[in-house]
Structure 1
């Protein structure tokens, strides 16, 4: 009896020791629950926050090649387009503001409507199933290259080229030849047509809260059968420029005679993207820790109706509220502390003008060079204007010859960027002559 009582007391003591109401047990249980919840939420947020639009595109291309589909209005094509659209919609929340996602989504929706896929799929569902023998395996041969003329721009001989560029703090030269200095923060479209899309992201730079510069560039070569599948190129200011598109390819392939291709001109610092079937060349540079962009397109592709221009910087320029009268800014700048060649210096407009003149920049590129150095306090930033002028000289030599050969800053206020400073005195003289003739 005594032994049973002792055993009972021992079991009771153990039960009390393992009681869930014990403070130590409760604390350990709570800590374990918090750890499990944290791991679960981390996994969910990682899964929810990843934009998977490129995964959807790859699955679409793999399925199209596996089924040997040629895009045309028929059930299999429509089913594949529907699956592509469903995949994109599932990742829509994580892809908000993603240029690659929105471009792909627009293309698949337009193609679905163009082929009238709702009707085709409804009729296919109502029709009795047809038993077909599986298709024979494809022959183990490489497709013959396309004729060189298939992916060559047909109007190349007569097409007039135009150039757009973005560089520095930032300055925009539109396809129409207008120079603007802008305050652009965040992502802005540069161009967007049936063949190409490009977007720039600007971030703050220097001590001036208003100073911004390009830190990311995205270029999309759109799908154009048979010359190229969709290709994306991304550049970041804090990394060397990639040698290839994001999927690792350097061109659209030998079959199309490499119609779309990335060429490295200076490793890590300068690349060119050529799109032969539209006779387009895009150049991206990494200068002084920031990016610059130049694009040469045939005028007929660059010029778009007013309704389709949107906010494209190359077509419309920056919004009026984002524009900066850089001449007025330069006329009010005093002295700026900076570092040049590893030594502290005090910059003035006169000193910086002399330094920019040594870089052989003229007209609006001289103004941009001076503005960038004074607004950011970085003398290395002067290189952006020099390289942008070189790009214009190479891509469109006649446009450089039309610039005013001016090696001093433009008039403080009132003149249009890129026009000769002598225009204002000529207008004043003409007005005086008109008054005399009226007397």
Structure 2
């Protein structure tokens, strides 16, 4: 740089008087400032010999004090490249006379870039460029504070490139998915599209495989000791090289749906392979596990939570090979399943009848809401099939219309995460088939009992005839 500066001094001293007075042709090209080209723009005043002697003396002194000639970490030349790109974008080279404001903006940008460059302690080029730009600003009466052009808007080649995601952090399997959901009091749709209503009070695992564990805790519905709903949900993403070797935990519990993982982060890993998205603060969050193409959706509605997950079929089938209890894979244990279809039918035909423990819980004499009213609410909410049944069930069991919103949200999630499910839906909005089934079963039972009574009377009549015959002998 010292030699370049000296050559620049000689070049300028050799300029003709006409050029010094600014009479250079308007078509003359400005090659830029700094080491890339040492031709001055025609509007800039000629630097005095004294100025160049000061610059050269500074270089000599720095060299005498033992400064090294450069540092591998100092990339000050990029400032010149950025400056030249800015100059060409602003089309300064073809203007005559040059706009002093544009010149000062360019010089301030150059100076700002040099000052931000790190690792240049003792680099001769760095100090030379810095002194040179400072003198040019003084000559052109440029203030230190003023407009600049940020490198991000004029120099794309120097923007950091995003990390390329390695193959093992991208899901390579088939893009065929399964869905599981849990909502309401509580109702379960398994990965294999089985529909169940369960008691499952307490803590239960929904998913548990080598990548992910999801556990829910179901407690008695507030103000109702018979119904249960999800009051706590825990998602654990197991350690791996794509995110973190430590487990990442997310916990939601009554009146708390955090917008971060437990450690305060929303993204984990250099490739954002694990990300928590707060879709609707306090109501709806999504956890995206990109290296297994899995999405977990958690919503809070009222005091309780709904859960949905979309996972590749290959991973679901691998989970099926495990003997671990997973409600999403194997469904609820038989002892925990409620016959909700029979419950709904009995409630129409005998609304004041006691409920069998095998269907719900004993001790409840009347529903919290009439079935006909519950049906109307759920029909008006555009719920169909299992989601319609669940809505009616929950309203009759609790009277809490938040459970209608819970069924609606779960239906929206399944249509979003598992669109093919829509093709299997019948769009049913009534309970007629359950009523007919119940009536048929009751009719068959009555016919059987009626025949049993007739046989019993005949048997008694025969016995009576035998007794009379015996006594008359």
- Identify the TM-score tier after normalising by the shorter chain: 0.5 to 0.7
Give aligned pairs, total.
263
* TM-fit CA distance, 1:205: 0.9
Q: Note the alpha carbon deviations across 1:177-236, whole angstroms, 9 max, x for none.
A: 011000011100000111111000000015553310000000011111134332100001
In the other structure, the counterpart of 1:312 is 326
* TM-fit CA distance, 1:151: 1.5
* TM-fit CA distance, 1:351: 1.1
Q: Is the 8 A contact 1:190 1:199 kept in 2?
A: yes
- Once residues 250 and 282 of structure 1 are traced to their aligned partners in structure 2, the CA distance between those partners, rounded to angstroms, is 14
* TM-fit CA distance, 1:306: 5.3
- Once residues 401 and 223 of structure 2 are traced to their aligned partners in structure 1, the CA distance between those partners, rounded to angstroms, is 14
The alpha-carbon distance between structure 1 residues 280 and 316, as it changes in their structure 2 partners (threshold 3 A), is same
- Once residues 322 and 286 of structure 2 are traced to their aligned partners in structure 1, the CA distance between those partners, rounded to angstroms, is 27
- Once residues 346 and 203 of structure 1 are traced to their aligned partners in structure 2, the CA distance between those partners, rounded to angstroms, is 18
The alpha-carbon distance between structure 1 residues 412 and 146, as it changes in their structure 2 partners (threshold 3 A), is same
In the other structure, the counterpart of 1:147 is 165
Which of 168, 192, 196 lines up with 1:180 in the alignment? 196
Give 3-state SS (helix, strand or coil) of 1:187's partner: strand
In the other structure, the counterpart of 1:159 is 175
Q: How does 1:96-135 map to 2 (within 5 A)?
A: none
- Work out whether 1:354 is the aligned partner of 2:383: no
Q: Is the 8 A contact 1:174 1:315 kept in 2?
A: yes
In the other structure, the counterpart of 1:70 is none
- Once residues 239 and 319 of structure 2 are traced to their aligned partners in structure 1, the CA distance between those partners, rounded to angstroms, is 22
- Once residues 190 and 323 of structure 2 are traced to their aligned partners in structure 1, the CA distance between those partners, rounded to angstroms, is 12
- Once residues 237 and 404 of structure 2 are traced to their aligned partners in structure 1, the CA distance between those partners, rounded to angstroms, is 31
Give 3-state SS (helix, strand or coil) of 2:265's partner: coil
- Work out whether 1:395 is the aligned partner of 2:412: no
- Work out whether 1:251 is the aligned partner of 2:273: no
Q: Note the alpha carbon deviations across 1:261-281, whole angstroms, 9 max, x for none.
A: 100111100000000000000
Q: Is the 8 A contact 1:330 1:371 kept in 2?
A: yes
- Once residues 414 and 281 of structure 1 are traced to their aligned partners in structure 2, the CA distance between those partners, rounded to angstroms, is 40
* TM-fit CA distance, 1:381: 1.6
Q: Is the 8 A contact 1:363 1:410 kept in 2?
A: no
Structure 1 unmatched runs, 5+: 1-141, 337-344, 416-420, 425-439
Q: Is the 8 A contact 2:369 2:397 kept in 1?
A: no
Give 3-state SS (helix, strand or coil) of 1:412's partner: helix
The alpha-carbon distance between structure 1 residues 178 and 413, as it changes in their structure 2 partners (threshold 3 A), is farther
In the other structure, the counterpart of 2:460 is none
In the other structure, the counterpart of 1:323 is 337
Q: Is the 8 A contact 1:362 1:407 kept in 2?
A: yes
The alpha-carbon distance between structure 1 residues 296 and 414, as it changes in their structure 2 partners (threshold 3 A), is farther
Larger CA Rg, structure 1 vs 2: 2
Q: Is the 8 A contact 2:368 2:396 kept in 1?
A: no
- Once residues 213 and 195 of structure 1 are traced to their aligned partners in structure 2, the CA distance between those partners, rounded to angstroms, is 26
In the other structure, the counterpart of 1:38 is none
Q: Note the alpha carbon deviations across 1:118-142, whole angstroms, 9 max, x for none.
A: xxxxxxxxxxxxxxxxxxxxxxxx9
The alpha-carbon distance between structure 1 residues 413 and 175, as it changes in their structure 2 partners (threshold 3 A), is farther
The alpha-carbon distance between structure 1 residues 187 and 399, as it changes in their structure 2 partners (threshold 3 A), is same
* TM-fit CA distance, 1:308: 1.3
Structure 2 unmatched runs, 5+: 1-159, 354-366, 442-473
In the other structure, the counterpart of 2:281 is 267
What is the root-mean-square deviation of aligned Cα atoms in Å?
A: 2.7
The alpha-carbon distance between structure 1 residues 143 and 200, as it changes in their structure 2 partners (threshold 3 A), is farther
* TM-fit CA distance, 1:153: 0.4
The alpha-carbon distance between structure 1 residues 147 and 207, as it changes in their structure 2 partners (threshold 3 A), is closer
- Work out whether 1:277 is the aligned partner of 2:307: no
The alpha-carbon distance between structure 1 residues 268 and 213, as it changes in their structure 2 partners (threshold 3 A), is same
- Once residues 336 and 196 of structure 2 are traced to their aligned partners in structure 1, the CA distance between those partners, rounded to angstroms, is 10
Q: How does 1:57-76 map to 2 (within 5 A)?
A: none
In the other structure, the counterpart of 1:238 is 255
The alpha-carbon distance between structure 1 residues 207 and 414, as it changes in their structure 2 partners (threshold 3 A), is farther
Q: Is the 8 A contact 2:268 2:275 kept in 1?
A: yes
The alpha-carbon distance between structure 1 residues 144 and 327, as it changes in their structure 2 partners (threshold 3 A), is closer
Give 3-state SS (helix, strand or coil) of 2:379's partner: helix
In the other structure, the counterpart of 1:374 is 396
TM-score by length of 2: 0.52
Q: Note the alpha carbon deviations across 1:82-102, whole angstroms, 9 max, x for none.
A: xxxxxxxxxxxxxxxxxxxxx
Q: Is the 8 A contact 1:365 1:385 kept in 2?
A: yes
- Work out whether 1:408 is the aligned partner of 2:408: no
In the other structure, the counterpart of 2:408 is 386
* TM-fit CA distance, 1:251: 1.1
Q: Note the alpha carbon deviations across 1:130-173, whole angstroms, 9 max, x for none.
A: xxxxxxxxxxxx99835354411012xx3310000000000000
* TM-fit CA distance, 1:377: 1.9
- Once residues 301 and 379 of structure 2 are traced to their aligned partners in structure 1, the CA distance between those partners, rounded to angstroms, is 18
- Work out whether 1:197 is the aligned partner of 2:213: yes
Q: Is the 8 A contact 1:251 1:259 kept in 2?
A: yes
In the other structure, the counterpart of 1:31 is none
